[in-house]
Amino acid sequence: MTGAPAAIRTDGLTKYYGPVIGVEDLSLDVAAGEVYGFLGANGAGKTTTIRLLVDLLRPSRGRALVLGVDCQRDSLAARRLIGYLPGDLPIYPDLTAADYLVYLSTLDSRPVSQAHLRRLFDRFDVSEVDRRRRLRDQSHGMKQKIGIIQALMAQPPVVILDEPTAGLDPLMVQAFRDTVAELKAEGRTTVFLSSHVLSEVETMCDRIGLIRGGRIVTTGTIEDLKRDATRRVVITFSSPAAPASPLPTGATLRTAGVAEWVIDMRGPLGPLVQALAGLPVQDVVVEPFKLEDYIAPFYAEGADASRGLTGRSNQ
């Protein structure tokens, strides 16, 4: 960091709904130009966080800043920097897609480049005919594409997307990934997206934050998570092998058959490889890192909290 303000920053951001925690003491930084994936089970606090950032909710305490601008104190200036896609896209059913975009673009008079808009239409395969149809007659996927376009059309420096690929077909998911990749390559736009599709987050995001019961439980780059993750290593022997000398730190022997061991390994593999020296190893298979495997335990642990059973801590 060079002293430039973070694209998104929250300091002890807290929102209570009566006795229920929306989010509590949430502190995170998203650097400018970064693609940040915000993960969590249903009700974990993702949408609450996002709605605090766009000042639709008022925090119980703490603060949120977008490019150094306070989202509550200087709400209008902060919102001028944001493109936002809500989780459930609201529509005016009587408007055509084109009129809907014109209406939204003129609300705050942010300029929209027609060339950029055309590129978005092309990328998301929104034809002239689609643009002329009323939104009530459009499919869910088409509405979602229009929603993504309205968030991106003014080329805001910060884009906040709540489950952007929900309802998109695989081709359009790919189009969305390409768009995010393009934004990342250009480096001018910060993307903050919440999603349940872990493979998507793994592919697109530079960093992720995992929220559970309103609190961030882990955050880091995918590489950080890989280093931190437990990987399964399956070792096959050409002849029966005696149990090895003590396994290195981070290794847990799950099953030790005559010809095959299964080891859960956390940390670098080097020490394990050294420990296997001298044994009749025929094959070593290291299961590739999967974000799903890493995240799943957090989701499971968070199920109760996410059902609103988490009470406010006494502060």
Partner 1 sequence: MIRLLRRSAAQARYLLIGSFVLLFGFQLIIVGQAEEIQRTQAFGRVAELMPAFLQRGLGSRAMLLATFRGTVAFGYFHPVVCLIVAVMAMYFTTEPAHEIESGLVDLELSRAVPRSRLLTRSVLLSEVAVATAAALMGAGTLLGARLFNAGGMDLPTLGVRARLLANLFAVGSCFGGYGLLIAAWSRRWMTAFTTAALTAVVLYLVDFLAIGWRAMRVAAWLSPFHYYKALSIIAGDAPVGRDIAILFGAGSVFACAAYWRFGRRDL
Residues with Cβ within 8 Å of 299's Cβ and at least 6 positions away in sequence, in order, are 40, 41, 212
> Of 18, 90, 240, 246, which lies in the binding site for partner 1, with binding defined by CB under 8 A?
90
> Of 49-57, 202-210, 259-267, 294-302, which part binds partner 1 (CB under 8 A)?
49-57
Q: Does 103 bind partner 1 (CB under 8 A)?
A: yes
| Distance of closest approach, residue 132 Cβ to partner 1, in angstroms | 17
SS3 297: helix
- List residues bridging with 35 in a β-sheet: 191
In the stretch 282-311, what mask flags binding to partner 1 with x, by CB under 8 A? Answer: ------------------------------
Question: Rounded distance, CA 159 to CA 273, Å?
Answer: 44
Residue 80 or 196: which CB sits closer to partner 1?
Answer: 80
Residue 81 or 208: which CB sits closer to partner 1?
Answer: 81
| Distance of closest approach, residue 196 Cβ to partner 1, in angstroms | 20
> Of 4, 42, 61, 106, which lies in the binding site for partner 1, with binding defined by CB under 8 A?
106
Residue 78 or 201: which CB sits closer to partner 1?
Answer: 78
Question: Rounded distance, CA 137 to CA 132, Å?
Answer: 10
Residue 86 or 271: which CB sits closer to partner 1?
Answer: 86
| Distance of closest approach, residue 94 Cβ to partner 1, in angstroms | 7
User: Of residues 204-233, which lie at the interface with partner 1 (CB under 8 A)?
Assistant: none
Helix locations, the chain, DSSP H: 46-53, 75-79, 97-107, 114-123, 128-132, 140-152, 170-186, 198-204, 222-228, 270-276, 291-301, 303-304
> Of 55-63, 137-145, 251-259, 272-280, which part binds partner 1 (CB under 8 A)?
55-63
> Of 9, 46, 51, 143, which lies in the binding site for partner 1, with binding defined by CB under 8 A?
51
SS3 106: helix
In the stretch 130-159, what mask flags binding to partner 1 with x, by CB under 8 A? Answer: --------------------x---------
Tokens of 194: 């919440």
Question: Rounded distance, CA 163 to CA 241, Å?
Answer: 49
> What b/e sequence results for 103-116 when a residue is b if at least 16 CB atoms lie within 10 Å of its CB, and e otherwise?
ebbeeeeeebeeee
First-to-final CA distance of the chain: 33
Identify the helix (H) or strand (E) that includes residue 286. Answer: strand 281-286
User: Of residues 56-85, which lie at the interface with partner 1 (CB under 8 A)?
Assistant: 56-58, 76-77, 79-80, 82, 84
Q: Are 254 and 263 in contact (CB under 8 A)?
A: yes
> Of 87-95, 250-258, 275-283, 306-314, which part binds partner 1 (CB under 8 A)?
87-95
| Distance of closest approach, residue 296 Cβ to partner 1, in angstroms | 30
User: Whose CA is closest to 41, among 194, 164, 186?
Assistant: 194
Taking the CA atoms of 205, 207, 212 and 216 in sequence, report the sign of the dihedral they define: negative
Residue 56 or 217: which CB sits closer to partner 1?
Answer: 56
Residue 48 or 306: which CB sits closer to partner 1?
Answer: 48
Backbone phi, psi, residue 310, to 5°: -80, 125
> Of 86, 141, 250, 271, which lies in the binding site for partner 1, with binding defined by CB under 8 A?
86
Binding residues (CB under 8 A) for partner 1: these are: 51, 54-58, 76-77, 79-80, 82, 84, 86, 88-90, 92, 94, 103-104, 106-108, 110, 150
